[in-house]
Structure 1
Amino acid sequence: MKERVNLDERLAEAAVNGMSLAVWAALKPDAPFIHDPAGHTRSFGEVNANANRIVRLLRNAGLQPGDAVALVCSNRAEFVEVLAATKRGGYRITPVNWHLTPEEIAYIVGDCEAKALFGDVRAPGMAEVGAACPKAVVKLAIGGPIDGFLPYDETLAAFDGSDIDDPVLGNQMMYTSGTTGRPKGVFRPNPVVPVQGLYAQRGYDHETSVQMCAGPAYHAAPLAFDVNAAIGAGCELVFMDKWDSEKVLRTVAEKKVTHMHLVPIMFQRLLALPDEVKQAHDVSHVKYIVHGAAPCPPEVKLAMIEWFGPVVHEYYAGSEGGAGFAIDSHEWLKKPGSVGKRPALLGAKILDEQGNEQPPGVPGLIYHQLPPGGGFTYYKDEAKTQKSRVGDYFTLGDMGYFDEDGYLFLTGRDAETIISGGVNIYPQEIDNELIKHEAVADSATVGIPHDEWGEQVRAVILLKEGYEPSSELADEILAFARDSLPGFKVPRGVDFVSELPRSEAGKIQRNKVRAPYWEGRARQI
């Protein structure tokens, strides 16, 4: 017990200056840490040593604490090494979506004012990105040669891998998805110190726990709940490259995965596996599944709880901060569909378009209270910062309502609201019903132009394998909707598609689904 207390104290002290990984590397240097999609494994000692080498490389190039580092990297060990280096070197890291175009990547690298750029050879046009970002005085190529970049392994080999003796806690700046206009950095001036006690609450044990990262590490949620959790809790981290439902399930069973962050579309795809496949893989060792980022249809979550047990946890928050909402399986079963109770630490409220607080049961924009000191700004965009605020509260653009007991229910995003005949309709509520139909794999309800009503409700449906689009099936789906939805919410038509766009976070990109219907017309709001 004394050894456990001493370890906890060391970890708490190390978290303050970004050296948590160094504690684990000293405790178990040869233990496996990162398993990458290619089947390679790196130990705690190896990852920690490279983190120290990166700090020395950046210092040698003149970078100071507070300077920015851009990381354009797929799910692999180097991602964690660069992240760990910025944590202890005092740098501000911006992980970038490597699936973006070279122009989009270069914009973010330039906008965050990166003085160092780490680029994955898999990212498109990294040589172009590097050439477009002359302020990056250090450019390292990960996974293969890139014109204008130094090779990662060979360059780091010249530096000492022992722990630096003057660590400074680093920061991070994530970028918004940029569904309208350019993405913006969410700048929080004060680094967040991890609360070491959270890992014990989530059932982590550094000797037996295994974390899976099935989503992109550059996104805020997998970064927090998968990558940073593995660093803080000292457990193995299994990286997945891209989603493959059967491979994910097989990996959970074979690697004895205990913890993972998923999004609702991942739930749906796992649940869609044949029963014989699901039954063939043992998941009894899973202790903690956390999800968020997108609203989860209640029947999907219930099915996951029935399959994995009451280990499914939900959060609702954003990179911008605020207290956030959380709910475990037991509480959720009493309040199906909720994302949690109004937080006690920082407030939250529902406001209408005029800024009036809404009573229980009435949807509106969700506003979160800013922490003391203001919390965040949108980097170099004061107008956007102020537009999101009412007093000392800010909104992420999400809509929802509180029930009589103070539990929050999401209804969608403000930009997704359908206004038909002057009535607000929240498409997420419709999608939650449509995917219950046995033929529906995914749904994105949108508002399409209508001369009389302004907008008309339209269901855009992705079918499960084995089902073919037909007018008869469309009528069947609409009849199904009429059984569970009030008349004004029932879609007036169905369009079948071969795919539906979702962000890397699992959110349906409703604006992309809606765009073809509005081409050449101005949407009236």
Structure 2
Amino acid sequence: MMKSHNIYSVELEQNRANYAPLSPLSFLARSAEVYPDKTAIVHQSLRRTWAEVYLRCCRLAGALSSRGIGGGDTVALMAPNLPETFEAHFGVPMAGAVLNAINVRLDAETVSFILKHGEAKAVLVDREFSEVVQRALSGLDQKPLVIDIDDPFFEGGELIGEKDYEALLSEGDPNFAWQMPEDEWEAITLNYTSGTTGDPKGVVYHHRGAYLNAISNLVCWDMGHHPVYLWTLPMFHCNGWCFPWTLAASAGTSVCLRHVRSDHIFDAIRRERVDHFCAAPIVLNLLNNAVSDMKSGIDHEVKVMTAGAAPPASVIAGMEQMGFQVTHVYGLTETYGPSVVCAWQDNWDEKSAAEKARLKSRQGVRAPMQEGLMVVDPETLEPVPRDGETLGEVVMRGNLVMKGYLKNPDTTAKSFSGGWFHSGDLAVWHPDGYIEIKDRSKDIIISGGENISSIEVEDVLFRHPSVLEAAVVAMQDGKWGEVPCAFITLKSDKEEVTEQNIIDFCRDKLASFKMPKKVIFTDLPKTSTGKIQKYVLRQLANGK
């Protein structure tokens, strides 16, 4: 775009005194300088201050640099939510390199593909995942530098690397002269999509987007200074939705959690007085169904941010009955995680608990640092009416959108068609401007010419007191084309529930054509990030 020339463009040039590229690395430097003695990391009995974390990140950057790893090189990491994982979000880009945090639930073949596709020069691996990584490395012609993370609080696994992380840090200079990126458009991280329908795609984030989404998180969650944040959300998932950088901006405390279990979560909240955590609806459901004794003793405000799948209103209501304040956000790997938030309105305060939960289950409006959000006809890009009924595709644009897919220009161009990022999610647009996801485009059920939202049916199923998890997919039908088929996991003490019980429960809550025509009781298959694999359920429903 050509710049206009006017009196404000004459001898008022950008220079080092009035302009700096945006990068979340600046947050780390500031917190270490302003709050050096504040606790940055808690891991079991281990505690580190912001000053200590900063020096360790400098050492990591210096050690990588001394080994020739820098500008544009990829450093992969396969580890749970540990101090080393947090530090890598700063130390790797401080060396000019790009962090690729790999999903720890992936199989060796997929990890091997990711290491090769991302051209990893180094891999940091926790002992728990050494076997998978070792098998993944066997399929590579070019072997990266392998560094072990030797967590003293974990037993098992093997050390497979050249040396461990602490030994690597000892090579690094604590006064390493790291540099901010010359251009905020430079890549900071690489994140792979789950790849349920083929090889995963490599989503590239830039420093500017990481910086702005970190601030966006602070603003839309009203986090303030020094929050105490529990790492229930994996740091490999959209870089923990950018919260490593958010916590550096707010000089907060990261409470690490290797495994997501109800007792560990409630214990950490009590012990460390955690006031913020993020979790997918499936984790919230896990907490809702924990035994009462496990939930006792929490006497302070806890804020929960949820995303990943549309949360049933009943799940939100259950969390708020425990005294947890829920904020619902929405986004994709391609949008740095949360780029849409269900922003609370003061005039909703007087509504009933059930109505509040229903309002919160909507995805919402654009996040503070996102520029554009619409629900449109995917072919014409014309906005759909704001009537809460007309389905369209969710599209977004702005700073919270990826650079693109690594080595995949055709898919990048397609996803940015018409100057908007196409999410593939179908939603309605309410009169108040809030969007509400109704389904993925591939998950909508078309029965006798009528569109059925699987999410709407699932929301009803979740209200049944015996249902732990539910998913609804299209089942082929000779008369109607497709009909809803429900897959349900029951709570452990509710095995007596039958298919007819479930159908009868839905009868006065759904139109007849939306009712499940078949109910299958089973454990639900999930992706490596905990999302239900509906394509597997569709195959089961249709005998494939």
Could you say whether these structures have the same fold, taking a TM-score greater than 0.5 normalized by the shorter chain as the test?
yes
Aligned to 1:327: 342
Conserved? CA contact 1:350–1:400, under 8 Å: no
- 2:29 is matched with which residue: 13, 22, 44? 22
Measure how far apart 1:504 and its partner are.
Answer: 5.0
Aligned to 1:151: 164
Within the candidate set 62, 75, 82, 1:76 is matched to 82
TM-score, scaled relative to structure 2:
0.83
Shift of 1:464: 0.7
Alpha-carbon displacement from aligned partner over 1:441-476 (angstroms, at most 9, x marks no partner): 110112223334333311111001211155xx2211
Kept in 2, the 8 Å contact 1:252–1:283? The answer is no
Distance 1:356 1:496, change over 3 A: same
* Aligned-residue offset at 1:111: 1.0
Q: Which amino acid in the other structure matches residue 183 of structure 1? A: P
- The number of residues matched between the two structures is 500
CA distance 1:136–1:339, shift in 2 (3 Å) = same
Give the match for residue 326 of structure 2.
312
Residues 20-29 or 46-55, more deviating: 20-29
SS at match of 2:277: strand
Q: 1:336 to 1:314 in 2, by over 3 A?
A: closer
With over 3 angstroms needed to count, the CA separation of the structure-2 counterparts of 1:271 and 1:289, relative to structure 1, is same
Answer with 191-200 or 180-189: which moved more. 191-200
1:181 partnered with 2:198: yes
Secondary structure of the corresponding residue to residue 25 of structure 2: coil
Identify the residue that residue 285 of structure 1 maps to in structure 2: 301
Q: Distance in 2 between matches of 1:374 and 1:245?
A: 33
Look up the equivalent residue of 2:375 and give its one-letter code: K
Distance 1:433 1:348 in 2: 27
Which secondary structure state, in structure 1, belongs to the residue aligned with residue 428 of structure 2?
strand
Please give the per-residue CA displacement for 1:243-278, whole angstroms capped at 9, x wherever unaligned: 222331232122100111122122222222344543
SS of 1:432's partner is helix
Check if 1:500 corresponds to 2:524: yes
Percentage identity across paired residues of the two chains: 25
Q: Which residue of 1 aligns with 2:506?
A: 481
Q: Does 1:515 align with 2:532?
A: no
Deviating more after overlay: 198-207 vs 311-320: 198-207
Alpha-carbon separation, structure 2, partners of 1:430 and 1:317: 22
Report 1:42-61 matches (<5 A). 42-61=48-67
Once superposed, what is the RMSD of the aligned Cα atoms?
Answer: 3.0
- Secondary structure, in 3 states, of the residue corresponding to 1:299? helix
1:127 maps to what in 2?
Answer: 134
Aligned pair in 2 of structure 1 residues 476, 179: CA closer, same or farther (>3 Å)? same
Alignment-derived partner of residue 95 in structure 1? 101
Aligned to 1:301: 316
Indicate the residue corresponding to 1:401 in structure 2: 428
Where 1:416 maps in the other structure, the secondary structure is coil
Provide the C-alpha distance between the structure 1 equivalents of 2:60 and 2:140, rounded to a whole number of angstroms: 20
Instruction: Describe the SS at the equivalent of 2:500.
Output: helix
1:224 aligns with 2:242: yes
Question: Which of 507, 510, 516 is 1:491 aligned to?
Answer: 516
Aligned to 2:362: 338
Q: Unaligned regions of 5+ residues in structure 2, if any?
A: 1-18, 151-156, 349-355
| Contact in 2 for aligned 1:66/1:91 (Cα 8 Å) | yes
Which amino acid counterpart does residue 437 of structure 1 have in structure 2? H
Cα distance change on mapping 1:189 and 1:284 into 2, 3 Å: closer
Cα 1:363–1:220 shift into 2, 3 Å: farther
Answer whether contact 1:457 1:492 (CA < 8 A) is retained: yes
Cα distance, 1:388–1:259 mapped onto 2, change above 3 Å: same
- Give how far 1:329 is off: 4.4
Instruction: Render the CA deviation track for 1:156-186: whole Å, top value 9, x for unaligned.
Output: 2122223535343761121111121111011
Matched to 1:349, the amino acid is: V
Give the distance between the partners of 2:528 and 2:52, measured in 1 at CA.
29
Question: For 1:60 and 1:352, how far apart are their aligned partners in 2?
Answer: 49
Range with bigger deviation, 149-158 or 438-447: 149-158
Match in the other structure for 1:172: 189
**Length-normalised TM-score, structure 1:** 0.86
Residues 186-223 of structure 1 deviation map (CA, whole Å, 9 limit, x = unaligned): 1245642525765377444555x311111221111634
Distance 1:104 1:153, change over 3 A: same
For residues 499-522 of structure 1, give each alpha carbon's deviation from its aligned partner in whole angstroms, at most 9, with x where no partner exists. 2233454432212222333454xx
Aligned to 1:391: 418
What SS is found at the alignment partner of 2:442?
Answer: helix
Q: Deviations over 1:415-458 (max 9, x none)?
A: 21223333322211111110100100110112223334333311
Distance 1:82 1:350 in 2: 39
CA distance in 1, matches of 2:141, 2:86: 25
For structure 1, the residue ranges without an aligned partner over 5 or more in a row are 1-11, 521-525
In the TM superposition, what is the alpha-carbon distance from 1:374 to its structure 2 partner?
A: 8.4
User: 2:173 aligned to 144, 156, 160, which one?
Assistant: 160
Task: Evaluate the alpha carbon distance shift between residue 383 and residue 506 of structure 1 in structure 2; reply closer, same or farther with a 3 A threshold.
Answer: same
Letter of the 1:339 partner, please give it: Q
Equivalent of 1:85, from 85, 91, 101?
A: 91
**What is residue 16 of structure 2 aligned with on the other side?**
none
What secondary structure sits across from 1:320 in the alignment?
helix
Instruction: Report the equivalent of 1:8.
Output: none
The one-letter code sitting in structure 1 at the alignment partner of 2:365 is K
Q: Is the 8 A contact 1:321 1:376 kept in 2?
A: no
Corresponding letter in the other structure for 1:492: K
Task: Give the whole-Å Cα distance in 1 for the aligned partners of 2:468 and 2:508.
Answer: 19
Residues 131, 260 of structure 1: alpha-carbon distance in 2 compared, 3 angstrom cutoff: same
Cα distance in 2 for residues equivalent to 1:330 and 1:189: 32
Cα distance in 1 for partners of 2:282, 2:161 equals 39
2:282 corresponds to which residue? 265
Distance of 2:281 and 2:514 partners within structure 1: 23
Q: Give how far 1:76 is off.
A: 0.9
Matches within 5 A, 1:403-482: 403-469=430-496, 473-482=498-507
- Tell me, yes or no, if structure 1 residue 213 matches structure 2 residue 231: yes
Q: Give me the whole-angstrom Cα distance separating, in 1, the residues matched to 2:463 and 2:24.
A: 48
Amino acid at match of 1:171: I
Q: What is the alpha-carbon distance in structure 2 between the residues aligned to residue 372 and residue 458 of structure 1?
A: 39
Q: Which residue number in structure 2 is paired with residue 3 of structure 1?
A: none
1:385 to 1:519, Cα distance in 2 relative to 1, 3 A: farther
- The one-letter amino acid of 2:478's match is D
Partners of 2:429 and 2:534 in 1: CA distance: 24
3-state SS of 2:278 partner: strand
Structure 2: distance between partners of 1:15 and 1:258: 28
Structure 1: 4+ residue segments shifted above 6 A? 12-15
Measure the CA separation in 2 of the matches of 1:480 and 1:397.
32
Distance 1:166 1:406 in 2: 42
Inter-partner Cα distance in structure 2 for 1:206 and 1:114:
36
Q: Distance in 2 between matches of 1:167 and 1:190?
A: 10
**Distance in 1, Cα, partners of 2:417 & 2:104:** 34
Query: Residue 171 of structure 2: SS of its match in structure 1?
Result: coil
- In structure 2, the CA distance between the partners of 1:158 and 1:512, relative to structure 1 (3 Å rule), is same
